Structure 1
Amino acid sequence: MSNALSFYIILIVAINILGCVALLYFTRKKKQSGEQGKTTGHVYDGIEEYDNPMPRWWLWMFYITIVFAIVYLILYPGLGKFKGVLGWSQISQYEEEVAEADAKYMPLFEKYAAMSVKDLQNEPEALQMGQSIFANTCFGCHGADGRGGIGFPNLTDDDWLYGGTPDDIMYSIMEGRKGAMPAWGSALGEEGVSQVVHYILSQNEVERTFKPNLVDEGKVKYEAMCAACHGKDLSGNTAMGAPNLKDTTWLHGGSISMIKDVIENGIQANMPAHDKILGKEKAHLVTAYVYSLSHSDDKQSQE
């Protein structure tokens, strides 16, 4: 914050407080004997407005709020760059609360961190803790139930962009992922994009409607421009985060118009790293929870 902006904020606050004091002072009116029942002369539908002074208790409550505001602005931030005599900030309070929580729960985190993700599948308390951390940290993109949405992966199925092993999931959480697909609209042209789309649809595991007359040319263009990432067989490449184009999972939408849009304009995707936000121990619990979402059937079969 610049000095000029800080001074402007202080000035506005001071004017408002002084204005409230002046308003109360100059409009105050003491009750005079013999004036009981005097009206202002305003009459509406037979109702008259009395010219009585404000109740003293109300007036003093107003003065108290002004005093409270002054004391608050001395103790806490509120006057531009002045941080208050207590030196409080929301960041310092957050850090104190995190440190307090870590001191309380870190021994438990460390206990579970020493266990493998697969072993944690048999620890309900650990999975509940992982779910709680997930709900507070990851739900904004992946949803509270982990099912994601358009542009955000579903974590409950067995379709993984970067691999679904515990190590792969842990790496994604700690280091983040940056996915990029170049725009092919200018290179392929509108007709070329349509050809590639209909070739992809013709190879899908689920029967899709496509134009057979576009498939052969689409295959040629796909193998020249798309196979390097998505594979000649369209099965994708987890090392690059290139999705499988043969299954029923469409991260950015599976309609013809949506697939065309992705090919024409490309995709820039980013999952931020959470190593500094969660730390290794908490990330390990989230990994165990995420892993459990797509392996619940395995656990049930073992039971």
Structure 2
Amino acid sequence: MTDFWSGYIIVLSLANIVGVAWLLMWTRKMDLSDLAEDGTTGHDYDGIREYNNPLPRWWLYCFWISIVFSLGYLALYPGLGKFPGLLGWTSHGELQADEAAYDQQFGPLYQAFAATPITELADDERAMKVAGRLFANNCALCHGSDARGARGFPNLTDGDWLYGGEPERLLETISRGRNGMMPPWIGMLGEQGVKEVTAYTLSLSGRQVDPALAATGQARFMICATCHGADGTGNQMLGAPNLTDNIWLFGGSEQRVAETIAHGRSSQMPAFEKTLGPERVHLMAAYVYRISRDSRPAPSPEATAEVAPGEAAAAQPASDTATPATGAAP
């Protein structure tokens, strides 16, 4: 704040307080000689006469107390421009003191969490309760309280990751943040080209499209293959999404996909390493890892059933001709 604006605020604040005090004093010394015999001012509004009754004393006392309080407050605390107040208090200083007290009380707990591998920490119920509160305070605004995201904000429960869902990649994403950008292609492709590439892109995930448009769009898709791959399965090193799984960050309708191709997209996730610290980031990574792992559908028993070796041998049809033992005579 410059000296000019600091002085402006000081003068304006004190002038208002002094003006209110003067107004109270002035109204006490009003000339009452012009009052009518019945004690009214002579003003009549639709049959309602205006009396000149004094304000209640308790109300006046409260007004004077508020004036004295405001002057005392402005003398002790910041409020008059750059004047810091006689106590030297600042909201930033109080925040730092609260954070220091919090770290002193809970620091050992977070350090113990940070020393535990993410895959093991994800099964610690006490740690996950703490992590759930951290998620609600720092992540739910974008990803939702249920972590299922919204348009433009990834769903963290579907197992579909732009930059990878391994513990190390999650830790990197939360710590350093991510910046995603897809360039607009309307200038290079034109409107017809956008329609063709849109048709081919949708066909990669099994959608019903115009075969002729998709065939033409396949050749044009080569400009997209640099990031998304020739088969459209994406590239997690670049944050390029998989186009074959029918999961769409900005909407999967034909109109939305065409809009994305034509005008591009940009997104940003902030870095939390400085605001949360490495211990809390480690805990958050374990929480995201857990909700993603636990939200995936479990494989069916038929798909995971293992056949015992004896059962497998019994299930195979017997050969009509016995195989001679090694070294047996012909």
Normalising to structure 2: TM-score of the pair? 0.84
Counterpart of 1:210 in structure 2 is 209
Counterpart of 1:73 in structure 2 is 74
Q: How does 1:1-303 map to 2 (within 5 A)?
A: 1-28=1-28, 38-44=39-45, 46-205=47-206, 208-222=207-221, 224-296=222-294
Letter in 1 for 2:83: F
Separation in 2 of the partners of 1:228 and 1:83?
57
Secondary structure of the corresponding residue to residue 5 of structure 1: helix
Q: Is the 8 A contact 1:75 1:84 kept in 2?
A: yes
| Cα displacement (A) at 1:95 | 1.3
Secondary structure of the corresponding residue to residue 226 of structure 1: helix
Q: Is the 8 A contact 2:199 2:214 kept in 1?
A: yes
Unaligned runs of 5+ in 1: none
| 1:125-183 superposed Cα distances (whole Å, 9 cap, x missing partner) | 10011110111111221112211111111111100000001111110000111112111
Letter in 2 for 1:212: P
| 1:190-237 superposed Cα distances (whole Å, 9 cap, x missing partner) | 1111100000111214xx232111111100010x20111111111111
Residues 299 and 75 from structure 1, CA distance in 2 versus in 1: closer, same or farther, beyond 3 angstroms? Answer: farther
Residues 79 and 41 from structure 1, CA distance in 2 versus in 1: closer, same or farther, beyond 3 angstroms? Answer: same
Compare 236-245 and 88-97 and name the one that shifted more.
88-97
Separation in 1 of the partners of 2:80 and 2:297?
58
Normalising to structure 1: TM-score of the pair? 0.91
Separation in 1 of the partners of 2:80 and 2:29?
33
Q: Is the 8 A contact 2:113 2:121 kept in 1?
A: yes
Q: Is the 8 A contact 1:235 1:244 kept in 2?
A: yes
Q: Is the 8 A contact 1:29 1:53 kept in 2?
A: no
Q: Is the 8 A contact 2:186 2:194 kept in 1?
A: yes
Residues 9 and 297 from structure 1, CA distance in 2 versus in 1: closer, same or farther, beyond 3 angstroms? Answer: closer
Q: Is the 8 A contact 1:36 1:52 kept in 2?
A: no
Secondary structure of the corresponding residue to residue 246 of structure 1: coil
| Cα displacement (A) at 1:39 | 2.3
Separation in 1 of the partners of 2:251 and 2:92?
39
| Cα displacement (A) at 1:49 | 3.3
Structure number, greater radius of gyration? 2
Secondary structure of the corresponding residue to residue 242 of structure 2: coil
| 1:247-292 superposed Cα distances (whole Å, 9 cap, x missing partner) | 1210011111211111112122211111100111111111111111
| Cα displacement (A) at 1:55 | 1.7
| Cα displacement (A) at 1:297 | 5.3
Q: Is the 8 A contact 2:159 2:296 kept in 1?
A: no
Letter in 1 for 2:217: G
Letter in 1 for 2:209: F
| Cα displacement (A) at 1:44 | 4.6
Figure out how many residues of one structure are paired with residues of the other and give that number.
295
| Cα displacement (A) at 1:298 | 7.4
